[in-house]
Amino acid sequence: MSISIQQVNGVNQLTARARYQHFIRRIADWEVVWTISNQDQAVVTQTFKEKCIFLWSDKEYISADFSGKPVELSIYDVMDDLLNEMNHDIQVICMYKNPEDFYKCSQEAFITELKDECKQYE
């Protein structure tokens, strides 16, 4: 699904926490999340002295600053497979257009909040 430039600009004006809350609601509603991959694997990067995986609610938020191919994933694949296969010290990074302004959380917090939000759509 495509989003408008007005929506992109509006969401980018929110605080990092508010964008994260929007992100959780959006991916729970549409049941998809975006990441970037190299050679069919999600990109896990060493940043901020931590291992991180970058996630977006919509492809339009992925900046040209990120190398790799945008990949759409089911939120269930992310919750059940992707994060469970990773080291638990990897942080989830909710990204939008501005790479300096992001929201970071633990895998456990991300999965808990996403599951709680998904319950509202059942």
Q: E strand or H helix at 109, and its extent?
A: helix 107-119
**Coil, helix or strand for 73?**
strand
Phi-psi region of 109 (alpha: psi -120 to 50; beta: other; left: phi over 0): alpha
pTM: 0.83
How many C-beta neighbours within 10 Å does residue 115 have? 12
Name the CATH superfamily, with its identifier, for domain 5-119.
Answer: Uncharacterised protein PF11572, DUF3234 (3.40.1350.90)
Domain positions in the chain: 5-119
In the chain, the N- to C-terminal Cα span, in Å, equals 21
For residue range 14-43, what is the model confidence (pLDDT) as tens digits?
Answer: 888 899 999 999 999 999 999 888 776 666
Which pLDDT tens digit goes with each residue over 58-80? 988 887 667 778 889 999 888 88
